[in-house]
Amino acid sequence: MANNDIVLDVRDVPKVPQWISLSIQHLFAMFGATILVPYLVGLSPAVALISSGLATLAYLFITKGQIPAYLGSSFAFIAPIIAAKASGGPGTAMLVGFMAGLIYGIVALLIKSFGVNWLLNILPPIVVGPVIMVIGLGLAGTAVNMAMRIDPNDAATYSSLHFSVALVTLFLTIIASMFFKGFFGVIPVLIGIIGGYVYALIVGIVDFSGVKAAEWFAAPELLIPFVTYAPELKWGVALAMLPVVIVTLSENIGHQMVLSKVINRDLLRKPGLHRAIAGDGAALTLASLIGGPPNTTYGENIGVLAITRVFSVFVIGGAAVLAIVFGFVGKISALISSIPTNVMGGVSILLFGIIASSGLRMLVDNKVDFNEKRNLIIASVILVIGIGGAFIQVSEQVQISGMALAAIIGAILNFILPGREKTKDHDSSIEEKNVNNTL
């Protein structure tokens, strides 16, 4: 891709009016999905915005300002956070991100020392693809209950009116995704949420009392360990989180490859994949220390980079600062909280389905052959165990279940069944080849 196509390169500093408008674009691109995750797991959207901004700034610092990536709330951690809250409250849920961040740090050190092939051997597409599908399909019931009911936890509260709000939101999101072009084509989630909110307002199911009562400036409810709660390590939570880390690590590597192609730089070599993963790990840890959901690099914002040809890390940093500022505006937080559950349910039907489909896409893109019995067996076992609710009770407090059990058994099957392909030498390609030749 020719350099003359670039509007602003990675280290270019835009003029102030242009800087603000370009940063707002990135803020809009991440906004819908970033506030949806805390909404689903019962955390503060305001804190999610603040943690997203701080995490992005930390990521830019660790990657030496060479990777223009925005970090937002990760959908992959929804199930572990819900399970953690159920077993020990919000404080236990925060440990999910903290432990994930520590694992990322260890993986970054190992990649710097030994390369990346060992990691790709642990998480080949035949294991990661079905695990991603389990994440999406395992949340399908949550999305449908949010869409159909006044109270998602009460089956007796089915409402055709509320379901219509979810369907309108869903169809608006689909239309925006399919037919809108340019910048609007990369923010279909935000468009769907706004459109669904307007429809909910028309049919009279929006409560504005919280918005009216809210102050313009309001300190968000931060969850700080040893200050607002006492951390309690639960091994069951740790085990449930491990397979999610496998998936998000794979996603992070994929994002670095795509981003390298978009900005025409080999980011796997400079500043290095280990720095990218270390930055993501620092973001996870930082978010958990203030009560925000775990963060990861966002494909939506990579899409904005590809469309606008503006690669400046200063623009990404500006979006991060704006997100932090928004987190302290009480009216905005109250407005987000006034969004009916059914609006989020409508968006979730599509997003959770896309998560599942992205696992299928990984299998297709990597040309996984299901005529081979080993591949068919591994994928089948992962899907049924992960979605079916199988579990192993290790002790009174430790249970390996669902996605965690499915990922572990899938990895074991991949190693013991005959016919496993040797991983290609990605390390040499990172060191010696231009990224455009390896993608």
Please tell me the predicted confidence (pLDDT) of residue 324: 93
Please tell me the predicted confidence (pLDDT) of residue 228: 73
CA distance from start to end of the chain: 13
Q: If you average pLDDT over residues 2-22, what whole number do you get? A: 80
Please tell me the predicted confidence (pLDDT) of residue 439: 29
* Residue 85 CB contacts under 8 Å (≥ 6 apart), including other chains: 41, 42, 92, 93
* Residue 341 CB contacts under 8 Å (≥ 6 apart), including other chains: 146, 152
pLDDT over 60 at 1, yes or no: no
Tokens matching residue 354: 């896309």
Least confident of 46-55, 318-327, 414-423: 414-423
pLDDT over 70 at 167, yes or no: yes
Neighbours of 162 (CB within 10 A): 23
Contacts of 249-253 spanning 24+ positions with Cβ under 8 A: 249/104, 249/107, 249/119, 249/123, 249/277, 250/123, 250/128, 251/76, 251/296, 251/297, 252/276, 252/277, 252/280, 252/296, 252/297, 253/116, 253/119
pLDDT over 70 at 395, yes or no: no
pLDDT over 60 at 4, yes or no: no
pLDDT over 70 at 131, yes or no: yes
pLDDT over 70 at 386, yes or no: yes
Predicted confidence (pLDDT) per residue in 183-223, tens digit: 677 678 778 888 999 999 999 888 888 888 878 888 888 88
Please tell me the predicted confidence (pLDDT) of residue 437: 33
Q: If you average pLDDT over residues 255-276, what whole number do you get? A: 85
Confidence of residue 434 (pLDDT cuts 50, 70, 90): very low
Q: What CA–CA distance (Å, rounded) separates 392 from 410?
A: 15
- Whether residue 342 contacts residue 168, with contact meaning beta carbons closer than 8 Å, is answered with no
Work out the angle at residue 351's Cα, subtended by the Cα atoms of residues 345 and 352, and round it to the nearest 5 degrees. Answer: 85
Please tell me the predicted confidence (pLDDT) of residue 236: 67
Work out the angle at residue 206's Cα, subtended by the Cα atoms of residues 350 and 292, and round it to the nearest 5 degrees. Answer: 60
Confidence of residue 292 (pLDDT cuts 50, 70, 90): confident
pLDDT over 70 at 68, yes or no: yes
Please tell me the predicted confidence (pLDDT) of residue 31: 77
Least confident of 103-112, 306-315, 318-327: 306-315
Whole-number average pLDDT of the chain: 82
Q: What CA–CA distance (Å, rounded) separates 319 from 39?
A: 21
Predicted confidence (pLDDT) per residue in 150-161, tens digit: 887 777 888 899
Q: If you average pLDDT over residues 320-338, what whole number do you get? A: 87
Note the pTM of the prediction, 2 decimals: 0.74
Please tell me the predicted confidence (pLDDT) of residue 279: 94
Q: What CA–CA distance (Å, rounded) separates 58 from 164?
A: 41
Predicted confidence (pLDDT) per residue in 176-190, tens digit: 888 888 767 767 877
If 0-12 CB within 10 Å is exposed, 13-18 middle and 19+ buried, where does residue 402 land? buried
Q: If you average pLDDT over residues 29-41, what whole number do you get? A: 79
Kindly give the interhelix angle for 160-179 and 341-365, rounded to the nearest 10 degrees: 40
Question: In this structure, are strands 295-297 and 391-393 parallel, antiparallel, or unpaired?
Answer: unpaired
Neighbours of 419 (CB within 10 A): 8
Please tell me the predicted confidence (pLDDT) of residue 181: 80
Please tell me the predicted confidence (pLDDT) of residue 432: 39
pLDDT over 70 at 438, yes or no: no
Please tell me the predicted confidence (pLDDT) of residue 222: 81
Please tell me the predicted confidence (pLDDT) of residue 425: 57
- Whether residue 294 contacts residue 48, with contact meaning beta carbons closer than 8 Å, is answered with no
pLDDT over 80 at 83, yes or no: no
pLDDT over 50 at 95, yes or no: yes
pLDDT over 50 at 287, yes or no: yes
Q: What CA–CA distance (Å, rounded) separates 313 from 12?
A: 8
Confidence of residue 381 (pLDDT cuts 50, 70, 90): very high
Please tell me the predicted confidence (pLDDT) of residue 429: 46
Residue with tokens 């192609």: 261
